[in-house]
Chains A and B, each alone.
Chain A
């Protein structure tokens, strides 16, 4: 299957600093990427939909000024957690679906996730 690479796999940062997470589709083009957040033993909660060349669409309750999303190319989306606090500590996972007419029925491929710990 297609490969989605997420970097870094884990990061520890100090409270108040910002952290950038990258999500790359390695062998396909993705006009749309998705960012999820997963707390321990809980489900994947969709945070935002990242659209190449346009503004991201955020889910209700997600602060867009805190979680900055940039989707500058068909293979790269970034999530920046600004002014991170301990409550932002979580597992962040991106996913991407291949661009094209088949999008309605194609599999979404997930990155390996980034474990963020804010101390």
Chain B
């Protein structure tokens, strides 16, 4: 079945350093890849997304890259800040089903 693997499960970085989270998907028909940030007890919030017809997208300190051939995509956060600390989820979606398959999550801790 459809599956999204996410690594690492936990990540600690010093404030100002970069953080990279990687996901691999199994469904080659997936064409939309959002990234969500979830703070404790709160709803997931979209931080960036990428479509299958694009290889890279950037929004200020956040960027996402997509390698369709290898079926993996990555989240890059530069100049990390303590408020970036949260759980990050990647997801993959296929046009037609519209449902998201989420990765297992990465708990990011930015140390001041």
A97–B97 CA distance with the chains assembled, in angstroms: 12
A108–B91 CA distance with the chains assembled, in angstroms: 11
A61–B92 CA distance with the chains assembled, in angstroms: 20
Per-residue A-contact encoding for B5-44, CB less than 8 Å = 1, 0 else: 0000000000000000000000000011010100001111
Contact count band on A: 20 to 34
A43–B100 CA distance with the chains assembled, in angstroms: 12
Asked if B43 contacts A105 (CB within 8 A), the reply is no
Closest approach, in angstroms, between the C-beta of B95 and any C-beta of chain A?
Answer: 3
Interface residues of B in 25-77 (CB under 8 A from A): 31-32, 34, 36, 41-46, 49, 51
Asked if B32 contacts A42 (CB within 8 A), the reply is no
A36–B34 CA distance with the chains assembled, in angstroms: 16
Closest approach, in angstroms, between the C-beta of B66 and any C-beta of chain A?
Answer: 13
A11–B43 CA distance with the chains assembled, in angstroms: 17
Closest approach, in angstroms, between the C-beta of B52 and any C-beta of chain A?
Answer: 9
Asked if A43 contacts B95 (CB within 8 A), the reply is no
Stretch at the interface among A12-20, A72-80, A82-90, A109-117: A109-117
Besides the known contacts A41-B107, A108-B34, 5 further A-B residue pairs in the complex with CB atoms under 8 A apart: A42-B105, A45-B102, A104-B95, A105-B51, A110-B44
Q: Can you name 24 A-B pairs with beta carbons within 8 Å?
A: A1-B46, A41-B105, A41-B107, A42-B104, A42-B105, A43-B89, A45-B102, A46-B101, A46-B102, A93-B44, A95-B100, A103-B95, A103-B98, A104-B32, A105-B31, A105-B95, A108-B34, A108-B46, A108-B100, A110-B45, A111-B43, A112-B43, A113-B43, A115-B41
